[in-house]
């Protein structure tokens, strides 16, 4: 309480009494005397608060303490006031929650599964003030508890994935084994410090990004361990939620941007590789940790890319990481191209006394624009997944028992990395064709915008079909239906010249 209030002199006598009475004779009413269900728990809490309030009044009645102080303290301990309306009530709740996190959590968590811990963390977080949150993230947690806390904070603040988080590649067992083996060789007590030294040497401005208690060196080590613990196939969905939570929280409350992912990757990989032995060991370790990074990036990077503003997206594209590259840019410019067509059609309709463009065209363009914006995220996810599967292939040798699964994972991500740009080309072409009947109606003053929209769509199609061809060449025949769809697209009469002839 003293720390939260800024010093002992700022704590009222009533709040001091209430703080010291938090566990007043609580053992008289043990939890075991009430039913084990939730209603039994709530009844126990109510009974404890009522008894503590009554006992505090009885104990202090004849002690000479001012009656108003005693009554105020009893109301605080009885939690009679809403947290949002009484600052001292909030301070007492903050202190109670922080005491639980700092002193009682290790014992409390022993018989709880992760889902239960996440739920308890979330409820605890919602009770606390922003000042208490700052204290809470400065406490020490085990890797397991840190993961539960991160997931809970994202849920409590509305930053969890709205649906399912982006999918992460399933790393081959040989890669997972190599990751854990190489991690065991890293001096954990110095890893975080060395990681930040490499990071800040490359980009000193990142000191501002990581200038938070939660990003201290010891927590970086725990975060890596936390993620390594979730690499088994059946645990990957939990891993995806945790990585999404880290990215969303770091973006919302910190200053993490997509452009920072490149130096983070190099600092992570190089710090681990530095602890490896022979040249061959360093090479394999490097590949394993590249695979690990891109597996995590498959979840984190799509969120960061979509959250970036225009300037930040340009910084991310210029950064020394192969994504966001031509694929996401094609999706973005296609969406902007459709937006220009929608604007041209909409203003034209209004100027002609109609309230809207033709409903069928409007619906098709709106749906296409929404999908194309999502394709930016999907392309980043697909390319990170493909890179992860490429780096992880063959690390266990051809005789590795999961080599077939590893090859299947690679082909799955290659198909996805081919499917997204192909769909961008199909959607863009379809949207353009849908606009052909409307072109003659466009106002003269809007012809420049109309043509710009058409040319953006055309460019997006050219970029996307080229990416599809490259993937087919690099990976062989991904699937017969991909070949068929690409041929159909190429056989479609291009609408571009016709659309621009206005």
| pLDDT tens sequence across 176-234 | 999 999 999 999 999 999 999 999 999 999 999 999 999 999 999 999 999 999 999 99
82-110: per-residue pLDDT in tens?
888 889 999 999 999 999 999 989 888 88
Tokens 């001091």 correspond to: 16
202 torsion bin: left (phi>0), alpha (psi -120 to 50), beta (else): alpha
Which of 196, 186, 162 shows the shortest CA–CA distance to 302?
162
Question: What are the phi and psi torsion angles at 402 (to 5°)?
Answer: -105, 20
Is residue 401 predicted with pLDDT exceeding 70? no
How far separated are the first and last CA of the chain, in Å rounded? Answer: 73
pLDDT of residue 484: 87
At residue 135 the predicted structure's pLDDT band, cuts being 50, 70 and 90, is very high
Which of 286, 311, 321 lies closest to 391, judged by CA? 286
For 271, the token pair is 């710090």
Supply the pLDDT for residue 402: 62
Tell me what pLDDT residue 475 has. 66
CA distances from 265 to 296, 304, 351, 389 (A): 10, 15, 53, 16
Question: Which pLDDT score is estimated for 413?
Answer: 95
CB 348 within 8 A of CB 446: yes
Question: How does residue 352 score in pLDDT terms, banded at 50, 70 and 90?
Answer: confident
Q: What share of the chain in percent tops pLDDT 70?
A: 97
d(Cα 451, Cα 201) in Å, to the nearest integer? 47
pLDDT above 80 (res 480):
no
Q: 333 Cβ partners below 8 Å, 6+ apart?
A: 456, 459, 460
3-state SS string over 308-350? CCHHHHHHHHHCCCCCCCHHHHHHHHHHHHHHHHHHHHHHHHH
Give the residue-averaged pLDDT of 333-337: 98
Mean pLDDT of the chain, nearest integer: 91
CB-CB contact of 302 with 166 (8 Å): yes
Confidence of residue 237 (pLDDT cuts 50, 70, 90): very high
Assess whether pLDDT exceeds 60 at residue 355.
no
Q: What's the pTM?
A: 0.89
Of 120, 145, 13, whose CA–CA distance to 68 is shortest? Answer: 13
Look at residue 427 and tell me whether its pLDDT is greater than 80.
yes
Say which DSSP state 7 is in.
Answer: S
Mark 154-168 as b/e (b = at least 16 C-beta within 10 Å): bbbbebbeeeebbbb
At residue 64, the pLDDT reads 78
Task: In whole angstroms, give the CA distance from residue 368 to residue 374.
Answer: 10
Q: Examine the pLDDT at 356 and tell me if it is beyond 60.
A: no
Question: Residue 282's pLDDT is what?
Answer: 96
Tally the residues of the chain: 502
- The mean per-residue pLDDT over the stretch 429-451 comes to 94
Q: Residue 169 has what DSSP assignment?
A: P
Nearest CA to 486 among 502, 501, 497, 471?
471
Task: Say which residue, 8 or 124, is predicted with more confidence.
Answer: 124
């Amino acid at each position: 309480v003293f720390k939260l209030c800024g010093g002992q002199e700022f704590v009222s006598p009533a709040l001091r009494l209430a703080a010291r009475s938090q566990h007043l004779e609580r053992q008289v009413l043990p939890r075991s005397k009430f039913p084990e269900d939730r209603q039994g728990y709530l009844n126990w809490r109510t009974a404890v608060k009522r008894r503590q309030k009554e006992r505090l009044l009885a104990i202090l009645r004849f002690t000479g303490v001012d009656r108003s102080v005693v009554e105020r303290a009893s109301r605080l301990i009885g939690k009679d006031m809403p947290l949002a309306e009484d600052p001292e009530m909030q301070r007492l709740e903050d202190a109670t929650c922080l005491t639980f996190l700092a002193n009682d959590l290790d014992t409390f968590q022993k018989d709880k599964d992760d889902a239960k811990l996440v739920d308890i963390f979330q409820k605890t977080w919602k009770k606390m003030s922003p000042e208490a949150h700052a204290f809470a993230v400065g406490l020490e947690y085990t890797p397991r508890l840190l993961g539960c806390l991160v997931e809970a904070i994202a849920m409590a603040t509305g930053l969890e994935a709205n649906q399912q988080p982006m999918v992460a590649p399933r790393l081959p067992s040989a890669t997972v084994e190599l990751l854990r083996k190489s991690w065991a060789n890293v001096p954990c007590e110095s890893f975080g410090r060395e990681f930040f030294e490499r990071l800040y040497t490359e980009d000193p401005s990142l000191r501002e990004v990581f200038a938070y208690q939660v990003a201290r060196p010891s927590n970086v080590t725990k975060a890596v361990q936390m993620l390594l613990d979730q690499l088994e196939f059946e645990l990957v969905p939990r891993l995806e939620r945790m990585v999404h939570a880290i990215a969303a929280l770091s973006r919302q409350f910190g200053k993490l941007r997509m452009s920072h992912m490149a130096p983070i990757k190099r600092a992570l990989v190089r710090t681990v590789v530095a602890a490896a032995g022979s040249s061959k060991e360093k090479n394999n370790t490097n590949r394993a940790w590249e695979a690990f990074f891109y597996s995590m990036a498959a979840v984190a990077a799509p969120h960061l890319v979509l959250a970036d503003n225009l300037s930040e997206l340009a910084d991310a594209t210029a950064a020394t990481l192969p994504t966001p590259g031509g694929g996401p840019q094609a999706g973005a410019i296609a969406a902007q191209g459709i937006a220009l067509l929608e604007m041209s059609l909409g203003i034209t309709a209004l100027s002609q006394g109609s309230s809207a463009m033709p409903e069928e065209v409007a619906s098709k363009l709106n749906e296409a624009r929404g999908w194309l914006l999502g394709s930016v995220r999907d392309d980043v996810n697909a390319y990170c997944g493909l890179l992860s599967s490429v780096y992880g292939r063959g690390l266990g040798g051809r005789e590795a028992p999961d080599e077939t699964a590893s090859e299947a994972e690679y082909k799955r991500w290659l198909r996805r990395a081919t499917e997204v740009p192909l769909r961008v080309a199909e959607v863009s072409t379809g949207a353009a064709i849908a606009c052909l009947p409307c072109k003659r109606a466009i106002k003269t003053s809007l012809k420049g915008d109309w043509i710009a929209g058409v040319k953006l769509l055309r460019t997006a199609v050219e970029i996307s079909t080229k990416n599809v061809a490259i993937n087919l060449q690099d990976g062989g025949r991904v699937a017969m239906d991909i070949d068929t769809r690409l041929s159909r697209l190429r056989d479609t009469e291009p609408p571009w010249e016709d659309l621009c002839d206005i």
